[in-house]
């Protein structure tokens, strides 16, 4: 959840980074009593995300600024559409504009890309989810943007669920330990509210994992035939997640194999910032 506390902490840190001792350009070039109107405009179509973050950049800079946004997170817009307006002290508007734009461009870019993936799997039972491949320190923002685009969130952090990958399994079964037995032990140790997910990269690994009663099985880098076979083998006894090799050209075919979840790292690590602009008019 994108809380006000997280927004204020991250945005204030960004403002401090950008103007640690003030905005010397605006302070020397712009009269102290000058006011401005800044229109947030879309230069391309997309899905909006980051309304509260954008507003916070201006309000934390100067609480007297007036920020109005004309759409909510998750709304679509077209090129040329006016998305919002900021009015008040010209110095304050100019000081905050880059931070506000950076966040809303990044978040709207993620939301827009996510919406394309979600549209590509429409009509299937597969849900599109993100991964932990996020910008350090910005995970809450980027995860929120995925939801704005119609996607879902995977575990937020290493503390939220047990997810055993190949390296974990190699250590778990070192010395000839039985995989099913060890996974059952792990599951029995967990609180009932915590899920256990196990990654496999071959079909012949599934029976031992399935026998342990795990909650989710990730089929990593499986081809389409093996994905279908994996779904049939698991037969509803666990949630089936597909990962690896997912892009906009392949995601529909992956969804059609019957998997429940498709995790896509590209949603956050490869999304392009959307082209939004802030057109400022200063009144003296």
Which of the residues are catalytic? 98, 133, 165, 199, 220
CA distance 12 to 232: 50
Residues 6+ apart with CB under 8 A from 71: 48, 51, 77, 83, 84
Which pair of structure tokens corresponds to residue 284?
């003296």
Q: In Å, how far are 168, 197, 214, 257, 282 from 238, measured between CA atoms?
A: 20, 9, 7, 15, 60
Which pair of structure tokens corresponds to residue 149?
């685009």
Q: What is the DSSP letter of 20?
A: B
Pick from 8, 106, 94: nearest CA to 56: 8
N-terminal to C-terminal alpha carbon distance within the chain: 41
SS3 36: strand
Q: In Å, how far are 80, 89, 145, 187 from 276, measured between CA atoms?
A: 9, 22, 16, 47
Percent of residues in the chain assigned helix, strand, coil, to nearest 5: 40, 20, 35
CA distance 66 to 77: 22
């Amino acid at each position: 959840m994108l809380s006000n506390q997280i927004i204020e902490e991250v945005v204030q840190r960004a403002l401090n980074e950008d103007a640690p001792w003030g905005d010397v350009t605006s302070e020397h070039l712009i009269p102290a009593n000058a006011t401005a109107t800044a229109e947030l405009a879309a230069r391309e179509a997309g899905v909006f995300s980051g309304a509260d973050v954008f507003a916070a950049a201006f309000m934390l800079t100067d609480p007297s600024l007036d920020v109005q946004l004309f759409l909510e997170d998750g709304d679509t817009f077209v090129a040329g559409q006016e998305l919002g307006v900021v009015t008040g002290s010209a110095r304050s508007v100019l000081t905050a504009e880059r931070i506000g734009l950076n966040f809303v461009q990044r978040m709207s870019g993620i939301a827009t890309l996510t919406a394309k993936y979600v549209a590509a799997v429409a009509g299937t039972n597969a849900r599109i989810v993100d991964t932990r491949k996020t910008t350090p320190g910005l995970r809450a923002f980027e995860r929120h943007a995925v939801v704005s685009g119609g996607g879902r969130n995977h575990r937020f952090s290493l503390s939220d669920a047990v997810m055993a990958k190949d390296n974990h399994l190699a250590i778990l079964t070192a010395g000839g330990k039985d995989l099913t037995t060890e996974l059952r032990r792990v599951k029995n140790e967990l609180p009932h509210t915590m899920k256990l997910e196990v990654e496999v990269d071959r079909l012949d690994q599934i029976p031992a994992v399935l026998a342990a009663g795990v909650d989710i099985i990730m089929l990593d880098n499986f081809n389409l035939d093996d994905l279908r076979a994996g779904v049939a083998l698991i037969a509803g006894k666990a949630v089936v997640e597909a990962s690896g090799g997912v892009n906009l050209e392949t995601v529909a075919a992956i969804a059609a194999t019957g998997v429940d979840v498709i995790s896509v790292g590209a949603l956050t690590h490869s999304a392009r910032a959307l082209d939004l602009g802030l057109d400022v008019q200063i009144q003296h």
